[in-house]
Chains A and B, each alone.
Chain A
Amino acid sequence: MADDAHGAAAAEHAAEEGGLVFHPMDQFIVKPLFGGDTVGLFTVTNVTLWMALAVLAIFALLVMATSKRAIVPGRSQSIAELAYGFIYKMVEDVAGKDATPYFPYVMTLFMFIVCSNFLGLLPMSFTTTSHIAVTAIMAMAVFLSVTIIGFAKHGIGFLSLFWISAAPLPLRPILALIEIISYFVRPISHSIRLAGNMMAGHAVIKVFAGFAAVTLIAPVSVLAITAIYALEVLVSFIQAYVFAILTCVYLKDALHPHH
């Protein structure tokens, strides 16, 4: 019975294909990999697949490429060293020298996001970082750990982050209110920035791909897809960078709350 309904729906769906039909959101659907319809907590889905691929990519880049431990690095080893140096310098410059113990956490986030973003750019792939659930967990983890670090290091003095002593006294309560609101908006903007960027780019590519069905504007559409794809490659890296650098900025606030 279900099969009949499914067949009918498929036929109807096929009939729609002739016109301008956009399914920009279909690429974000979570599907179970090994049959079954329901997505339970532990179901192996395409999310699992692409996250595992990201882990594999990180393993290949940072572990296998450096297995020779060459003094004069090869191509892949120098990429690994470049990534290490890039993030290490960022943590040191933005969050301060005493933030280097947290470097592995920032590196974990950065490597996961950058690998997921780039894997998501492969055709037919699934972009794990385009889901708000994924980015929100990462942003909440950063927010909570930063808050806990702040209170653990400075106790109640961490609240001086909101009390700007440089401002004139009558303005301080208002500024404190604004600071508190902006502090709690941080995880929201932190997560939505990444997910929104990834989702928007992929959806736009998909919309232009829909236009390609019309012969008259197909060349324009293909050119536009190419251009947006190039932009997306840039955005993929920049968003990972921005996520990591904002983590460092928040970490700096937790370690040095006094303005």
Chain B
Amino acid sequence: MATETDSHGAAEAASVCVDSHGGAIGMPQLCGDWMGNQIFWLIVTLVVIFLILSRVALPRIAAILAERQGTITNDLAEAENLKARAVEAEEAYNQALADARSEALRIAAEAKAEIQGELNDAIEKADAEIGARAAESEKAIAEIRAGALESIREVATDTATEIVGALGGTADADAVTGAVQSRMKG
């Protein structure tokens, strides 16, 4: 390095900072001859990079990120919307179910009431009919009974008159009738 510099010397060097066979003399970083070149190309490079970044790359990446953010937000909103709609649909379903149930109950109650009414009517009618028939029958029975009593009295009077006649007595019609009458009461 430094000894090399001494042995070759700067005189035969290709430039001030490089010795004759391409080795560095001292620090290449401190070689003033090269700095202008480096600074020039650095400025060119930085300007090019800055133009690429500010004109093309950064707006594009920002747009991509914003678009993605927008898509995510939209998707979330849509998912939220769908969820709300699902909840709504469930509510509507439940509502319909409840409606149907109450309607069914109402119809059942109505039907029951109607049937009950019809039944009551029928029972009433039947009762009335039964009552009428019973009354009629009672009446007939009473008639029959009355008829039967009358017949019995007649038969008894007749029989009694006959028996009395057979026994050789003379039947007093009023006495026989009175006797039969008292007997029948007793």
Residue from the set A26, A39, A195 with the largest chain B CB neighbour count within 10 Å = A39
Question: Which candidate, A103-111, A155-163, A217-225, is the interface stretch facing chain B?
Answer: A103-111
Q: Which of B34, B42, B48 contacts A138 (CB 8 A)?
A: B42
**Residues in chain A near residue B38, CB distance under 8 A:** 30, 47, 128, 131, 133-134
* B111 on interface, CB distance cutoff 8 Å: no
Interface residues of A in 17-33 (CB under 8 A from B): 22-23, 25-26, 28-30
Asked if A25 and B27 sit within 8 Å, CB to CB, the answer is: yes
The main secondary structure of chain A at its interface with chain B is helix
Asked if A132 and B29 sit within 8 Å, CB to CB, the answer is: yes
Asked if B49 and A58 sit within 8 Å, CB to CB, the answer is: yes
Q: A41-B36, A71-B71 are in contact. Are A30 and B53 (CB under 8 A)?
A: no
Interface residues of B in 98-125 (CB under 8 A from A): none
Q: Whole-angstrom distance from the CB of B139 to the nearest CB of chain A?
A: 103
**Residues in chain B near residue A128, CB distance under 8 A:** 38, 42
A117-148 vs B, Cβ < 8 Å mask (1 yes, 0 no): 00000000000101111100110000000000
* B56 on interface, CB distance cutoff 8 Å: yes
A48-68 vs B, Cβ < 8 Å mask (1 yes, 0 no): 100110110011001100100
**Residues in chain A near residue B62, CB distance under 8 A:** 84
Interface residues of B in 36-62 (CB under 8 A from A): 36-46, 48-50, 52-54, 56-58, 60-62
Asked if A133 and B52 sit within 8 Å, CB to CB, the answer is: no
The main secondary structure of chain B at its interface with chain A is helix
Question: Which candidate, A5-13, A166-174, A177-185, A233-241, is the interface stretch facing chain B?
Answer: A5-13
Asked if A62 and B64 sit within 8 Å, CB to CB, the answer is: no
Docked Cα-Cα span, A25 to B29, in Å, equals 9
Q: A81-B64, A111-B53 are in contact. Are A45 and B41 (CB under 8 A)?
A: yes
Docked Cα-Cα span, A25 to B27, in Å, equals 7
* CB closest chain-B residue, reference A8: B20
Q: A6-B21, A9-B20, A69-B63 are in contact. Are A55 and B33 (CB under 8 A)?
A: no
Asked if A66 and B28 sit within 8 Å, CB to CB, the answer is: no
Q: A37-B14, A51-B41, A108-B50 are in contact. Are A69 and B28 (CB under 8 A)?
A: no
Q: Give how many A residues have a beta carbon under 8 Å from the other chain's beta carbons.
A: 60
Q: Whole-angstrom distance from the CB of A13 to the nearest CB of chain B?
A: 4
Docked Cα-Cα span, A60 to B58, in Å, equals 13
Q: A13-B23, A52-B45 are in contact. Are A39 and B61 (CB under 8 A)?
A: no
Docked Cα-Cα span, A104 to B68, in Å, equals 21
**Residues in chain A near residue B58, CB distance under 8 A:** 62, 84, 103-104, 107
* A199 on interface, CB distance cutoff 8 Å: yes
* CB closest chain-A residue, reference B50: A108
Interface residues of B in 53-82 (CB under 8 A from A): 53-54, 56-58, 60-65, 67-68, 71
* A42 on interface, CB distance cutoff 8 Å: yes
Q: A10-B21, A29-B18 are in contact. Are A47 and B41 (CB under 8 A)?
A: yes
Q: A30-B38, A133-B39 are in contact. Are A66 and B21 (CB under 8 A)?
A: no
Asked if B61 and A62 sit within 8 Å, CB to CB, the answer is: yes
Docked Cα-Cα span, A94 to B49, in Å, equals 23
Asked if A112 and B49 sit within 8 Å, CB to CB, the answer is: yes
Docked Cα-Cα span, A177 to B31, in Å, equals 33
**Residues in chain B near residue A103, CB distance under 8 A:** 58
Q: Whole-angstrom distance from the CB of A247 to the nearest CB of chain B?
A: 13
Asked if B28 and A25 sit within 8 Å, CB to CB, the answer is: yes
> A9-B8, A66-B64, A133-B29 are known contacts; what are 7 more A-B pairs with Cβ within 8 Å?
A6-B21, A9-B19, A30-B34, A40-B37, A58-B49, A63-B56, A84-B58
**CB<8 Å pairs between A and B, sample of 10:** A9-B19, A25-B1, A42-B37, A54-B49, A71-B67, A109-B46, A111-B53, A131-B28, A137-B42, A195-B29
Which residues from chain A sit less than 8 Å from chain B, CB to CB?
5-6, 9-10, 12-13, 16, 22-23, 25-26, 28-30, 37-43, 45, 47-48, 51-52, 54-55, 58-59, 62-63, 66, 69-71, 73, 77, 80-81, 84-85, 103-105, 107-109, 111-112, 128, 130-134, 137-138, 195, 199
